[in-house]
Structure 1
């Protein structure tokens, strides 16, 4: 019998531990425990498909194909319409296969700041506590002088490298231009303290195999394929709810995922939801948009929400589904003069064939571009005093309170790539470049709640993007800083006519000018109408960064918390949450590193409680 299947007839009636969700944290948790104690029977239930050797998962350059409509590796959540987004309905994709977001993300190796974890104010979760776990996850291949090796790991299952290819001239150009604006190159912007520096960015890509470093391939599949394990994975099935008895989690109810079926027996679709019991634990690891919904369908949440949908309260935990956070992202795009071999665009417009590049990679002297994500340059930055002086007084007040005396806290992350990641179907076939910004610690908050007891009904999802005006003002600063870098780059063709995606300034305004000298330190000027044009553009395009978190926060129950420092759900024994929903506040960076960290920490907590020695 295979240890991984989409057929529930292969699943036992009872196991020791159920992990509801096979994303980054769930795979890490299950993999670590299964490796430490092969006698444990552990069942991972994943709503998506098996990701094993799926080409657009394992080959880095194919990552954007996971986000096209109809994708079988992503799940798309539609948020409520928002006036703050010019009446748009934000679409938030999450991982829709084994490995979760780690199977489809952009592979940027970005760690939060150490103080981010201190800010969680939870015993056992400070940066000092968590550094050994961060090190445990990774094999860090960068050897640049100036890197503090003491903050990185060198024996973990997840490899961090430059990948197979970079656009070196673009990197050099961007780093030089950023330095001219005051954003200097640093050896390591992921040392847990650097908050104002640019870097040629590392990636979650293996340096020799060229493969994506997702949690399923790196940890779960090797164990599933071994002959000595109690680990099993059931794919293409959704967990409906947690079953409880006398205040304890005793199992889950699950059902086929009607959106991802590939070869599930037709008779199973007609069956009533199935049940699997848990002798020791149920761990919810379905992500910030699904875990709170599972809790609410289980009768765990706000009484007002549960009463509205007719679900009896099992444990009143009002914070379930609140505190939703995401990093607010927007892109600008420009015509570039990059040669074709230094651009990612040929992958996106069809000039460069993915499978041909896979074959090339296998040749000793062949191209290594298939192991490239084009996220070649990025940085974390804080605004200058001059930039702060252009912001409203209300913005400066919060800056003074939350940032001024904390130099390790960046305002945002900036990213530059040699290509246009948008739709190429209506564009001239040529080369482009992209500049992106995402806000490190947005003040806006959203929520997600069920609208019925059914696992298939759309939830009430408020993404919260730009719900706080401070966030918009911060993104305006980000646009202006990125623009100063772009207009100093030799890769930029130059002129307003070469702005492919950006604000629409009125003719003759200060902000419309791109043609004056850029090497003399001059800074673009803007008038109030220009600022409004920037804000309108941001409202039109700002979107998710695929970093959903916070909806089952780890903090006291009376403060809106859902789990305690041991990840126990309040009021229910034997039930834990282990995914990014537990984050009480945000981290400055792509969240994959933190998801792995949560999985590692959850595994250590369970190992201790289970009495597994030498973990």
Structure 2
């Protein structure tokens, strides 16, 4: 009998631990515990398909295929219409297969700052506390002599590298141009302290195999394929709710996922809800957009939300579903003079074959483009004194309060790549370049709540993007900074006519003039109408960074918290949450490393409580 299947009839009715969600944290948690104690019976229940050796999961260059309509590896959440986004309905994709968002993300290796974790204000979760777990998870491939090796791991299951290919000339061009705007060229922007440096960015890619490093392939599948484990995985099933008896979680109710399974008369009986009991723990690990909904359907949440959704209240925890956070991202695209070999665009317009590149990877002399994502350069950025002085008074006030005396706190992350990530069917076949900006710590907050007891009921989701005006002012600074970098790059063709995606300035305005090449030190000037054009562009295009978090915050109940520092849900015994939803505040950077970190920390906590020795 296989220990991974989409047929619930193949699984026992009772296990020791149920992990509701097979994403990055859930796979890490389950895999670590299963490896430490093979006698434990652990069941992971995942709503999506098995990701084992799925081509567009394991091969990095295929990552954008997950975001196309009809994707079988992503789930798309539609937020309510927002005036702040010029009446758009934001779409937030998350991982929809085993491995979660780590199976479909852009693979950028990014840690938060040490002070980000300190700011969680929870015993055992400071940056100093968590560094050993960061090191435990990774095998770090970076031979730059400037890297302090004490901050990295070299024997973990997740490989971190530059991937199979990088556009060296583009990287050098970016870094040279960026340093002219005040950024430092640093060997390691992920040492938990660097806040104003640009780097040749590393990715979650194994340099030997060229494969993505998602938690299912790195930890879960090797254990499942062994003959010495109590670990099992039920795929293509949604957890409806946690079953709670006398104040304790005793199991879960789950049903087949109708988006992945076609039910026939012969299998219709399997569509009935199935209850699986848990002798020791239920751990909800379904992500920031699903974990709070599981809790609410279980009767844990705000009384007003539960009453409206016709769900009896089991434990009143008002913070469930609140405090939704994301990073606010937007892209600019430009014509470049890069060669076809230096560009990722041939993958996106059909000039370069995925199949051919997969076949060629292991051959001598292969370019290894298939193990590339074009996310070649990134930076954590603090604004210059001039940029701060030119910002509105409201921006300066919060900058002074939250950033000025904290030099380890970046304002934003900037990413540059030799490609255009948009629709290539509407632009000439060519080579492009992209600059992206996202805020490190947006002030805007949203929420997600259920509207009824059924797992397929539509949720009430407000993404909160730009709900605080400070965020828009900060993103304007981001636009101006990336523009100063781009117009100093030799890869940029030059001139306003080479802007493929960007603000529409009025003819003759200061912002419409793209002087190029530029003398070092020259700064583009803008008038108030230019600033409004930038804001309009941002409102029209800003979107999710796929970094959903915060909806089951790790805080005291009286402060709006949902779990405590041991990840216990307030008011219910035997129930924990372990995913990015527990983040009480944001971190600077892509969140995958932090999702793995939560899984590692949850495993440590459970191992202690279970009495597992030498974990």
| TM, length-normalised to structure 1 | 0.99
Counterpart of 1:52 in structure 2 is 52
Written as runs of structure 1 = structure 2, the 5 A alignment for 1:363-378 is 363-378=363-378
Note if contact 1:332-1:501 (Cα within 8 Å) is conserved in structure 2.
yes
Note if contact 1:106-1:373 (Cα within 8 Å) is conserved in structure 2.
yes
Note if contact 2:173-2:489 (Cα within 8 Å) is conserved in structure 1.
yes
Deviation at 1:362, TM superposition (A): 2.0
Note if contact 2:334-2:432 (Cα within 8 Å) is conserved in structure 1.
yes
Q: Which stretch of structure 1 is more off in the superposition, 514-523 or 233-242?
A: 514-523
Q: Distance in 2 between matches of 1:271 and 1:348?
A: 39
- Alignment partner of 2:551: what SS? coil
Deviation at 1:437, TM superposition (A): 0.3
Note if contact 1:447-1:461 (Cα within 8 Å) is conserved in structure 2.
yes
Q: Distance in 1 between matches of 2:342 and 2:265?
A: 48
Counterpart of 1:503 in structure 2 is 503
Counterpart of 1:434 in structure 2 is 434
Counterpart of 2:118 in structure 1 is 118
Counterpart of 1:78 in structure 2 is 78
Counterpart of 2:545 in structure 1 is 545
Deviation at 1:263, TM superposition (A): 8.4
Change (3 A) 1:269 1:174: farther
Q: Distance in 2 between matches of 1:235 and 1:266?
A: 19
Counterpart of 2:329 in structure 1 is 329
Deviation at 1:373, TM superposition (A): 0.7
The answer on 1:466 being equivalent to 2:466 is yes
Counterpart of 1:525 in structure 2 is 525
| TM, length-normalised to structure 2 | 0.99
Deviation at 1:265, TM superposition (A): 8.2
Describe the superposition over 1:165-194 as per-residue Cα deviations: whole angstroms up to 9, x where unpaired.
000000000000001111121110000000
Deviation at 1:517, TM superposition (A): 4.1
Describe the superposition over 1:13-32 as per-residue Cα deviations: whole angstroms up to 9, x where unpaired.
00000000000000000000
Counterpart of 1:275 in structure 2 is 275
Deviation at 1:89, TM superposition (A): 0.2
Note if contact 1:7-1:264 (Cα within 8 Å) is conserved in structure 2.
no
- Alignment partner of 1:342: what SS? coil
- Alignment partner of 2:386: what SS? helix
Deviation at 1:458, TM superposition (A): 1.2
Change (3 A) 1:270 1:479: same
- Alignment partner of 2:239: what SS? strand
- Alignment partner of 2:79: what SS? strand
Note if contact 1:256-1:269 (Cα within 8 Å) is conserved in structure 2.
no
Counterpart of 1:194 in structure 2 is 194
- Alignment partner of 1:399: what SS? helix
Q: Which stretch of structure 1 is more off in the superposition, 239-248 or 357-366?
A: 357-366
Q: Distance in 2 between matches of 1:23 and 1:588?
A: 21
Deviation at 1:264, TM superposition (A): 8.4
Q: Distance in 1 between matches of 2:172 and 2:376?
A: 10
Note if contact 1:6-1:263 (Cα within 8 Å) is conserved in structure 2.
no
Q: Distance in 2 between matches of 1:358 and 1:263?
A: 35
Q: Which stretch of structure 1 is more off in the superposition, 269-278 or 532-541?
A: 269-278
Note if contact 1:29-1:600 (Cα within 8 Å) is conserved in structure 2.
yes
The answer on 1:601 being equivalent to 2:601 is yes
Describe the superposition over 1:367-420 as per-residue Cα deviations: whole angstroms up to 9, x where unpaired.
200000100000001001100011111111100010000000000000000000
Note if contact 2:494-2:516 (Cα within 8 Å) is conserved in structure 1.
no
Counterpart of 2:161 in structure 1 is 161
Deviation at 1:113, TM superposition (A): 0.2
Counterpart of 1:286 in structure 2 is 286
Note if contact 2:162-2:205 (Cα within 8 Å) is conserved in structure 1.
yes
Deviation at 1:272, TM superposition (A): 1.9
Q: Distance in 2 between matches of 1:458 and 1:447?
A: 14
- Alignment partner of 2:199: what SS? strand
| Structure 1: 5+ residue stretches without partners | none
- Alignment partner of 2:93: what SS? strand
Note if contact 2:240-2:297 (Cα within 8 Å) is conserved in structure 1.
yes
Written as runs of structure 1 = structure 2, the 5 A alignment for 1:179-578 is 179-261=179-261, 266-268=266-268, 271-578=271-578
Note if contact 1:337-1:493 (Cα within 8 Å) is conserved in structure 2.
yes
| Structure 2: 5+ residue stretches without partners | none
Note if contact 1:256-1:268 (Cα within 8 Å) is conserved in structure 2.
no
Q: Distance in 2 between matches of 1:91 and 1:342?
A: 31
Q: Which stretch of structure 1 is more off in the superposition, 599-608 or 268-277?
A: 268-277
Note if contact 2:48-2:236 (Cα within 8 Å) is conserved in structure 1.
yes
Q: Distance in 2 between matches of 1:219 and 1:516?
A: 49
Describe the superposition over 1:246-270 as per-residue Cα deviations: whole angstroms up to 9, x where unpaired.
0000000000000012688852466
CA-atom RMSD in angstroms: 1.0
Q: Distance in 2 between matches of 1:419 and 1:309?
A: 45
Counterpart of 2:36 in structure 1 is 36
The answer on 1:581 being equivalent to 2:581 is yes
Note if contact 2:66-2:74 (Cα within 8 Å) is conserved in structure 1.
yes
Note if contact 1:109-1:201 (Cα within 8 Å) is conserved in structure 2.
yes
Counterpart of 1:127 in structure 2 is 127
Q: Distance in 1 between matches of 2:344 and 2:303?
A: 51
Q: Which stretch of structure 1 is more off in the superposition, 270-279 or 459-468?
A: 270-279
